[in-house]
């Protein structure tokens, strides 16, 4: 079987492509400004190497903060344009405020306008090409799913929302099919006997095996999989792809061989990483408490007008190794909000006061927790600490829930920057998937990514 694979870009490749081409287009526009126009603010030459590098750093950092490299948002022109204007405005502002490294302000202020417009127009032109070419169906990764019909629906729903370029075109039932077997109508089913022909005809780039009982895979399918593998065809296992595309651990598909899915990060035992993390915690906690002191007059006034009662409250939470501690927060709900017993916080919860809603959206209600970080009860980054009542309830329902307690809870975390506030069992399951992904992959790079995404959450006022 001779199979010509289609051209497609992996998730990491598209993110790198976006970053490199953004910088290339900006530098090209600066070069053209100096070549064809009377533009002298920053010229593309060796003397301005430091200034150009600084500009590249600013574009990369603020492009990340304002979600220019979020693939879901990068595929939409309106969202891209909005984020691009905000990111460019911030880049230019910071660039002008660092005159020691960047060029001094020009006497003719219109040059700054040219500089600003050049960045926006150059990146926007490239993003138009990206959306209409790279994001077009010709570059989709066409995938054939092999698995049991009973699991197909859940698998497809999870992956279809992750990456618009990852296209599952159909599936092959890995079990013996009988006339009485349940049929799945949400996706085209191909015959097991036509496995190799289907790959050729449908221009399949990858086979995704999602069989949770490998012993039940029928002989024909098993032999064809072996043949494809021997020929170098790309065959991947579902949980591996799930983690790669959704950045979560699919615990609902993990069985008795759970230890295969949790080879936790070496950073959990890396003394150097732990030292730098604790140093980072202390520095950020001191800075956070200092900002809290500066904002205290405004917080006191807002509390008097919009909360009417105590400004602070403490609550028992479960920390590392399941040990309880008292968390400090600014009060955002009415007094005696749980007089009828503990219950999940809901979206637009009526117990939340007007000022409390502002504190939650802006994340200012978390400021007192810097004290918990300073004491060592929490870290800046980690799974959010939950209340004992809900922990006991969730441990009975969700497998591996207590695993999130093997590290310190955090003020922000991978789950917080990727999903909404947990208000149900299903939400808690999703959050746990993200928390376990962090515990499994935690590193300096992932911590930096969470920090940047947290800034995006605050700036876009997405706190709950």
Q: How far is CA 317 from the centre of its chain?
A: 25
Domain with CATH 3.40.50.10700 in the chain: 140-246
Tokens of 248: 């979560």
With cut-offs at 50, 70 and 90, classify the pLDDT of residue 255: low
- Give the separation between CA 332 and CA 398, rounded to whole angstroms: 29
Helices assigned H by DSSP within 37-109: 49-65, 71-74, 77-96
- Mean pLDDT score of the chain: 85
Residue 208: HSE in the Cβ half-sphere, 13 Å Cα cutoff: 23
Question: Which residue has tokens 């299903």?
Answer: 426
Strand partners, 313: 329
What is the pTM for the complete model shown? 0.80
For the domain 140-246, what is the CATH superfamily, name and number?
AF0625-like (3.40.50.10700)
The alpha carbon torsion through 20, 26, 28, 34 (nearest 10 deg) reads -160
Residues 351-359, mean pLDDT to the nearest whole number: 84
- Give the separation between CA 11 and CA 464, rounded to whole angstroms: 29
Q: What is the pLDDT of residues 317-336, one digit of tens each?
A: 999 999 999 999 998 887 76
For residue 324, the model assigns a pLDDT of: 94
Most confidently predicted of 50-59, 68-77, 297-306 = 50-59
- Give the separation between CA 304 and CA 293, rounded to whole angstroms: 17
Q: What is the pLDDT of residues 163-201, one digit of tens each?
A: 778 888 888 887 776 555 556 667 888 888 888 999 989
Question: Which residue has tokens 């490294």?
Answer: 101
For residue 349, the model assigns a pLDDT of: 67
For residue 350, the model assigns a pLDDT of: 72
């Amino acid at each position: 079987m001779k199979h010509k694979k289609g051209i497609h870009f992996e998730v990491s490749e598209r993110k790198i492509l976006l970053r490199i081409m953004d910088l290339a287009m900006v530098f090209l526009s600066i070069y053209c400004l100096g070549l064809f126009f009377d533009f002298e603010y920053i010229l593309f030459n060796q003397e301005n190497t430091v200034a150009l590098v600084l500009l590249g750093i600013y574009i990369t950092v603020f492009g990340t903060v304002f979600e220019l490299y979020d693939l879901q948002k990068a595929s939409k022109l309106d969202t891209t344009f909005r984020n691009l204007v905000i990111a460019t405005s911030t880049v230019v502002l910071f660039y002008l405020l660092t005159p020691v490294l960047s060029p001094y302000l020009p006497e003719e202020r219109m040059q700054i306008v040219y500089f600003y417009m050049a960045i926006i127009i150059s990146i926007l032109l490239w993003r138009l090409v990206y959306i209409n070419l790279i994001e077009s169906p010709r570059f989709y990764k066409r995938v054939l799913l092999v698995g049991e019909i009973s699991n197909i629906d859940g698998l497809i729903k999870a992956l279809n929302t992750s990456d618009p370029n990852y296209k599952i075109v159909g599936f092959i039932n890995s079990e013996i099919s009988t006339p009485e077997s349940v049929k799945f109508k949400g996706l085209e089913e191909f015959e097991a006997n036509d496995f190799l022909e289907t790959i050729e005809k449908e221009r399949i780039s990858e086979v995704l095996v999602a069989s949770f009982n490998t012993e039940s895979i029928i002989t024909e399918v098993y032999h064809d999989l072996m043949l494809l593998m021997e020929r170098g065809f790309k065959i991947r296992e579902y949980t591996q792809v799930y983690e790669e595309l959704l950045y979560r651990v699919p615990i609902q598909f993990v069985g008795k061989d759970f230890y295969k899915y949790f080879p936790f990060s070496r950073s959990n035992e890396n003394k150097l990483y732990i030292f730098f993390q604790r140093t980072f915690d202390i520095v950020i906690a001191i800075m956070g408490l200092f900002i809290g002191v500066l904002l205290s007059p405004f917080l006191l006034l807002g509390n008097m007008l919009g909360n009417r009662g105590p400004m602070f409250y403490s609550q028992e939470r479960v920390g590392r190794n399941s040990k309880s501690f008292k968390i400090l927060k600014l009060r955002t709900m009415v007094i005696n909000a749980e007089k009828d017993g503990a219950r999940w916080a809901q979206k637009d919860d009526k117990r939340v006061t007007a000022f409390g809603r502002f504190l939650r959206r802006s994340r200012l209600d978390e400021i007192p927790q810097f004290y918990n970080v300073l004491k060592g009860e929490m870290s800046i980054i980690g799974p959010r600490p939950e209340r004992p009542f809900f922990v006991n309830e969730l441990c009975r329902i969700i497998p591996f829930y207590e695993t999130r307690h093997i590290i310190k809870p955090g003020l922000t975390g991978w789950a917080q920057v990727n999903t909404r506030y947990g208000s149900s069992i299903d939400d808690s399951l999703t959050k746990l998937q993200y928390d376990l992904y962090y515990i499994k992959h935690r590193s300096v790079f992932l911590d930096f990514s969470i920090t940047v995404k947290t800034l995006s959450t605050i700036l876009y006022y997405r706190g709950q």
